[in-house]
Amino acid sequence: MRTRLKRPEQIDKMREAGQIVADTLRLMRASVEPGITTRQLDQIAEENIRRHGATPSYKGYRGFPASICASVNTVIVHGIPNDTPLEEGDIISVDVGAKYRGFHGDATISLGVGAVPDESQRLMDVCRAALYAGIEKTRAGNRLTDISATIQHCVESAGFSVVRDLYGHGIGSNLHEEPLLPHYGDPGQGPRLRAGMVLTIEPMIAAGDPAWETLSDNWTVVTLDGSLSAQFEHTVAITDNGPEILTDLGD
Ligand code: MG
């Protein structure tokens, strides 16, 4: 499948979807605290998405049972919300997708639950900084893996590792479109970036070894060595004026 370029009016619609996602993530940030369960977070998120007239992109996607992915501590991605209360010192990645007027928005933030150890906070800070460094490279004329190489450099120079084989991707009227974006690798490879491309950039990083496995629920992806993982994600449009973060939380 070829990369589908979006026209400016389509990017306008994607910004609306993206802002519903951003609003929902702000709500997640305000709601995460010791004692709350990820199932409660999922209900809060789904209500907020539907209140805006949107639908949760993940609910029912390939049978996924919830509106958010809630990935706690050693879970890298695709954690299924459950009834276990979050504990002080946990870290959680909340991934939200919303479809509005035919287009998807998709973003993830990692959050500390109450006070977290310094090294946990640094893991999240480095992941967020790597995402933003990658976004800086998301410009017409660059190659796709210029984003990848920048993210890898950011993460590894801080002493952490980038998870392999799980990718960012094109996004639009489909949740997943071409091209696939690795968050590691040499620069200067892959398609040349063009205005009208819209991508998710979503580095997943680990404090230890990045090797992972999928649990028997067929969704939950965890680090093999039990080390902590963080993820940040934005939906980013390439415009003639540079990258635009469609899911910008405004801070
Ligand atoms: Mg996502």
| Residues 238, 18, 205, 210, CA torsion sign | negative
The fraction of the chain above a pLDDT of 70, given in percent, is 99
In the reported structure, the alpha carbon of residue 96 is separated from the centroid of ligand 1 by a whole-number distance in angstroms of 6
Ligand 1 centre to CA of 35 (Å) is 25
Per-residue pLDDT tens digits for 5-46: 999 999 999 999 999 999 999 999 999 999 999 999 999 999
Burial of 1 (0-12, 13-18, 19+ CB in 10 A): exposed
Q: What is the pLDDT of residues 102-135, one digit of tens each?
A: 999 999 999 999 999 999 999 999 999 999 999 9
Q: Residue 157 C-alpha to ligand 1 middle, in angstroms?
A: 25
Break the chain into its structural domains and give their ranges.
Answer: 8-239
pTM over 0.95? The answer is yes
Homologous superfamily of the 8-239 domain (CATH): Creatinase/methionine aminopeptidase superfamily (3.90.230.10)
Unique residue bearing structure tokens 């390939």 = 62
Secondary structure percentages of the chain, helix, strand, coil, to 5: 30, 30, 40
pLDDT in tens, 47-90: 999 999 999 999 999 999 999 999 999 999 999 999 999 999 99
Strands 229-231 and 204-206, sheet pairing: antiparallel
> Could you tell me the distance, in angstroms and rounded to a whole number, from the CA of residue 168 to the centre of ligand 1?
8
User: How many CB atoms neighbour CB 61 within 10 A?
Assistant: 12
Q: Are 233 and 167 in contact (CB under 8 A)?
A: no
Residue 3 is predicted with a pLDDT of 80
Cα 45 to ligand 1 centre (Å): 14
